[in-house]
Chain A
Amino acid sequence: MSVLLAQVQAPEIDYQGLAPLFATIGGSIVVVLVGLLRGSFVQRVLVPALAAASLLCAIGFTMANWEPGDSRPIIEGALGIDTLALFISMLFYLAGLATVALCVRSELVREAGHGEAMALLLGSVTGMVVLAGAENLVALFIGIELLSIPLYVLCAGEIRRARSLESGLKYLVIGSVGAAVLLYGLALIYGATGSTDFALISEAIGTSIGIGDPLLLTGVALTATGLAFKASVAPFHQWTPDVYEGAPTPITSFMAVATKAAAFAVLLRLFDYALADLQTLWAPALAALATVTIVIGNVGAIAQRSLKRMLAWSGVAQAGYLLAGVVVGTSLGLQATAFYLAAYLFMNVAAFAVVVARERVSEHGDDLDSLRDLGRTSPALAWPMTIAMLSLAGIPATAGFIGKFYLIGAAVAGDYAWLGIAIVVGSMISLVYYLRVLAVMWMGRFEITLPSLPPRSVMPVAGQSPEADARAQPEVAAVAILAAAATIVFGIVPSPLFDLARDVGQSFSALL
């Protein structure tokens, strides 16, 4: 007995560091139990309020844990916290809060159950937080699965709509393939370096194994592929438009911003920390992927009429921009990626909130036509959408511009000036489809010629009804307005966000 005790040492656990995770896990359990109670007050008010409260608690704990500098372990050898993990998890919580608000009146919670949907959402947030803080390959994989499985279910949450089921199934199949490839890659990295721990992998690459080791290289390539699926980096992006279009829009919004942030958190940690010594090998490959992603995403978006598909393609393009921050492998790149992820959160949440609001009341669903003449009929939605589009296009006085400025600066400083030019060229292409949205909203009193596509009947989604009233969903408009306001504020006064990003830049002490 005493021998056993001596051998099985429980890991050191920092409970304060774990507190945000407890908040979301606990919230998830409470919400699903409360959701069992009947009554519209419980379902409509209490469940979302509890979910939001658990996310707010997590935000509070995260702020209390904020401490610039090196990472400190919270579960020895598995999970750690550093400013990167904390910053990115803040984005998850904010995205979660926005999604809770967008879900309140959605078809999703009516069909899947309020408690269940919220519990799954909180479960996915938990997975993302684990992923962002993972310190070894096993924790990384657990995080990926924990974030994905609830999303598979949520995508198919509108069980009476075929497109939603199709979306869930597609995401499940593609996600599983991605996970399998990722797992294979992780196994090979473990085989080559003899360790699952990021710090030890980095050490092994620096000392015992040469950088040309084929086992290691195959592992890195497969891992990058698996993560590229999650981050929708071309050419592993094909699922994105279909899944985004079919999924309930609040969930699309959550996937677009939070899943992307999670994928980039782990890309940063894996490449810029664990595999930093191999940079000369993976950086050109990732740079090529980034360029391809920028071009494919932007060109793909041009032909879209469905706003959700358009935003999906634009999300692919933005993933390309973000990848530039990973490629350069510098502290500046890390900061720029973190900053852009935050800006990306605000502008996309604003855009998706408007889509949610419109598809509930418009017979056009999420078609571009649903925005027609919005500038006159409901400016409270048109302005957030305008700001979101301008920010995505990278117009100054928005957070998107500062983020792009930061990324291009990081690319040029990291000797990847051509990647900076690629970002600029991508932004030029993107003007075509972002400006089209603005034209439809503000200049739609007269006929606008939309791209001539074969006529397509758009299925009404998310409970559209002719009697529905746009004003009866103040929480959606509030999300849109708050996110748009944040986009503008951080575009004009970016310093608070910069200070956070600078702290994030110190996460990996080895980086320049």
Chain B
Amino acid sequence: MLTIHLSIVVFLPLATALIAALLPARIGRWIVIAGTVAVLGFAVAMLADYDSSAEGLSYVTDDVWISELGVRYQLGVDGLNLFLIALTALLWVPATVWGALRSVESPRLFLFHLALGETAVLGAFCAQDLALFVVFFDVMLVPFYFLIGSWGSGDRVRATTRFVIYTLVGSLLMLAGAIALGVLAAPSAGELSFSFADLEQRTLGEGTQQWIFLLFTAAFLVKAPLFPFHGWVVDTYRSTPIPVLVVFSAVLSKVGAYGFLRIVLPILPDASEYFQDLMLVLAVVSILYGSMLAFSQDEARLVLAYSSIAQLGFIVLGIFSLSEQGAQGAVMQMVSHGLVVAPLLFIIALLSARTGGAPSLERMGGLALRAPVLAALFLVATLAMLAMPGTPNFAAEILILFGTFEDKLVYGLVASVGVVLAAVYMIRFLQRSMHNRAPAGAESAEVGGLGLFAIAPLVAVVVALGIYPQFVLERTERATVSKVAPAAQVAGTAEPEREVSAIR
């Protein structure tokens, strides 16, 4: 087993950005790019080195941070966050390169905020202490506030203000919930602790669990976003610059779903069971609502915005099926949705740039024959998004639905409609943007070097995981099962004897 210092992984992007801030932009951007590549290297090493039979956390860093408040600086990796860290590291490379090599205004500041964002996201995924998680979760907002507000398009200040207020309201509620959780769970005043491991051991009354559950859920559902907490989504997707939107849509939305698995289910099992139906209803409504609106959108970005709501609905459905399969499917879906939505956003950027920056689907189209490589990449990504068998999304959605069918058949059946709807809106999306008659004045050119660099590796990873999804499932199984177990026990859905992965 390698020794990997997670602190280095987490803070490397920020460190390189600070160095780059002192250098001329021409040199500085390469340093920032090198930083993200190095983080990716760490992540790959971690994937290769990770022992899927390991119990508990690996690569742990554990220090006292604020002893008076019992807050620890505790980082660690297990099957639950392993692939999310890898996803973050992977997607930040093309996003940074894309941002660095195109001329943006004040490039150093742009890259600084982007790198701070990577540090915050990695920190939130690695954190094993609730207070530390809250810190990274909130810090995440700061760079994105500036990235959208300063470099966005359209009504960007309004969009970013809306986004930040929505998310911070959730975060502040979570802060109150986190403090209450730590304080009320402590057996005595001296033993205050926010460590996930400690909190999982301590018990809380059912009533206390319930109101704390609601505080956390507010934060995570806004972040995800799920219906009816999605008010900020449309403006944000419209205004955010593409490289930022890629990491935003692919990675940030997963932090909320990850929070459910890491914090809510294991620490508040009774409340998770109590509110299970509420959460399932929200998930199913999000799936249907997102799918239907995605079908009726004319703006390419909004198709993906609403489809994200639907996909996040699937993830939450899997988590709150409170079954092992469902949770595994949810983790798989977090990774595969991130991997698929990123190339699609890059492709949209290329397409709309060629038609003079128009966001509308009507103004795209007709490029498939002239740009076969781009069209092929687009096709693969689209098929993955609609969960064609042989893609990682298929494996994920099947697991989620199987997990739901077991005890909550009705929700599973309704959610299945969402799978069909996804096929409808994604095929419409592909047709309109690539195959229709070319609009007047559209340039038709094959994807360039930068575009290919950003898109092709991601599509390759999608294909690879589609062929061999067990690569993810094997490594995530142990941790995921252990996180669901307490809530599953309460709900009576625990099946210790059965094999988890049905598709093997």
Determine the chain A residues whose CB is within 8 A of the CB of B176 once the complex forms: 408, 420-421, 424
Residues in chain B near residue A435, CB distance under 8 A? 145, 161, 164-165
Pick the contact of A442: B135, B150, B165 (CB < 8 A): B150
In the complex, whether A396 has a CB less than 8 A from a CB of chain B is yes
- Which residue of the partner chain A has the closest CB to B178? A405
Q: Which of B66-74, B273-281, B296-304, B380-388 contacts A (4 or more CB under 8 A)?
A: B66-74
Tell me the complex Cα distance, A427–B160, Å: 18
For B145, the chain A residues whose CB sits under 8 A away are 435, 438
A-B contact count (CB 8 A): 94
Q: Are B175 and A395 in contact (CB under 8 A)?
A: no
Q: Which residue of A406, A431, A502 contacts B168 across the interface (Cβ within 8 Å)?
A: A431
Of B66, B157, B182, the residue contacting A443 (CB under 8 A) is B157
Report whether B189 and A413 are in contact in the complex, using a CB–CB cutoff of 8 Å: yes
| Contacts A395-B141, A435-B165; A412 near B180 (Cβ below 8 A) | yes
Q: Are A408 and B141 in contact (CB under 8 A)?
A: no
Complex Cα–Cα for A436 and B165 (A) = 11
Q: Is the CB of B68 within 8 A of A428?
A: no
Which of B142, B165, B172, B182 has most A Cβ within 10 Å? B172
Taking a contact as CB atoms under 8 Å apart, the answer to whether B172 and A394 are in contact is yes
Min Cβ gap B104→A in Å is 13
Assess A495 versus B66: contact at CB under 8 Å? Given A394-B172, A417-B180. yes
Interface of B is mostly: helix
A396 & B135 in contact (Cβ 8 Å cutoff): yes
Interface status of B183 (Cβ within 8 A of chain A): yes
Q: Select from chain B the residue with minimum beta-carbon distance to A502.
A: B68
Query: A486 interface residue, CB < 8 Å from B?
Result: no
Residues on the B chain within 8 Å of A396, using CB:
134-136, 138-139
What chain A residues lie within 8 Å of B139 (beta carbons)?
Answer: 395-397
Contact call B172/A412, Cβ cutoff below 8 A: no
Which residues of B, 134-157, contact A by the 8 Å Cβ criterion?
134-136, 138-139, 141-142, 145-146, 149-150, 156-157
- The answer on a CB contact under 8 Å between B138 and A412 is no
Contact digits for A393-404, partner B, Cβ 8 Å, 1 yes 0 no: 111110001101
Q: In the complex, which residues 479-511 of chain A have their Cβ closer than 8 Å to any Cβ of chain B?
A: 494-495, 498, 501-502
| A439/B161 in contact, CB under 8 A | yes
- Structural contact, B175 and A424, CB atoms closer than 8 A: yes
A463 within 8 A of B: no
Contact with A along B174-186 (1 / 0, CB 8 A): 0110011011100
Cα A424 to Cα B178 with chains together (Å): 12
CB pair A405–B69 under 8 Å, yes or no, is yes
Assess whether B169 is interfacial by the CB under 8 Å rule. Answer: yes
Q: Judge if B103 is at the interface, Cβ distance under 8 Å.
A: no
Would you call B175 and A408 a contact (CB within 8 A)? yes
Whether A432 is near chain B, meaning CB under 8 Å from some CB there, is yes
* CB within 8 Å for A443 and B175 given contacts A395-B142, A401-B135: no
In the complex, what distance in Å separates the CA atom of A495 from the CA atom of B149? 34
* B131 and A498 contact, CB distance less than 8 A: no
Q: Across the two chains, which residue of chain A brings its CB closest to B64?
A: A495
Given the complex, which residues of B lie within 8 Å of A494, measured CB to CB? 66
Contact of A428 with B149 in the complex, beta carbons under 8 Å: no
A409 at the interface (CB under 8 A from B): yes
A136 within 8 A of B: no
**Count, chain B residues at interface, CB 8 A:** 37
Within 8 A of B (CB), among A320-353: 332, 335
Contact (Cβ within 8 A) A439 B183: no
Residue from A395, A397, A424, A448 in contact with B173 in the complex, judged by beta carbons closer than 8 Å: A424
B106 lies within 8 A of chain A by Cβ? yes
Could you say which residues of chain A place their CB within 8 Å of the CB of B173?
A: 424
Q: Which residues on the A side are within 8 Å of B68 (C-beta)?
A: 335, 498, 501-502
Q: Indicate if A390 sits at the interface (CB-CB under 8 A).
A: yes
Cα A394 to Cα B156 with chains together (Å): 23
Minimum CB distance partner of B164 in chain A: A435
Our pick among A420, A443, A449, A495 for the contact of B150 (Cβ within 8 Å) is A443
**A376 touches B (CB below 8 Å):** yes
The residue on A at minimum CB distance from B146 is A442
Bound-complex Cα distance A406 to B180 (A): 12
A397 near B135 with CB under 8 A, answer yes
Docked CA distance A417–B68 (Å):
19
Contact between B179 and A412 (Cβ–Cβ < 8 Å)?
yes
Measured between beta carbons, the chain A residues less than 8 angstroms from B172 are 394, 424, 427-428
Chain A residues with Cβ under 8 A from B146's Cβ? 438, 442-443
Report how far A495 CA is from B65 CA in the complex, Å. Answer: 8
CB neighbors of A among B40-71 (8 A): 66-69
**Which A-chain residue is minimally distant from B184 (CB atoms)?**
A412
CA of A396 to CA of B123, assembled, Å? 13
CB within 8 Å for A432 and B183 given contacts A402-B66, A421-B176:
no
Q: Which residues of A contact B131 (CB under 8 A)?
A: 405
Which residues of A sit under 8 angstroms from B179, Cβ to Cβ? 405, 408-409, 412, 420
Q: Which residue of A lies closest to B141 (CB)?
A: A395
Which A residues are in CB contact (< 8 Å) with B161? 435-436, 439
**Which residues of B lie under 8 Å from residue A446 when comparing CB positions?**
157
Question: A376 near B106 (CB under 8 angstroms)?
Answer: yes
A 417-437 binary contact with B (CB < 8 Å = 1; else 0): 100110010011001100110
- Write 5 A-B pairs (CB below 8 A) sorted by A numbering: A405-B131, A424-B176, A435-B165, A439-B160, A498-B66
Can you add 14 more A-B contacts, CB < 8 Å, to A395-B141, A409-B183, A498-B67? Answer: A375-B150, A390-B142, A395-B142, A396-B139, A405-B179, A408-B179, A413-B189, A421-B176, A424-B173, A428-B169, A435-B164, A436-B161, A439-B161, A443-B150
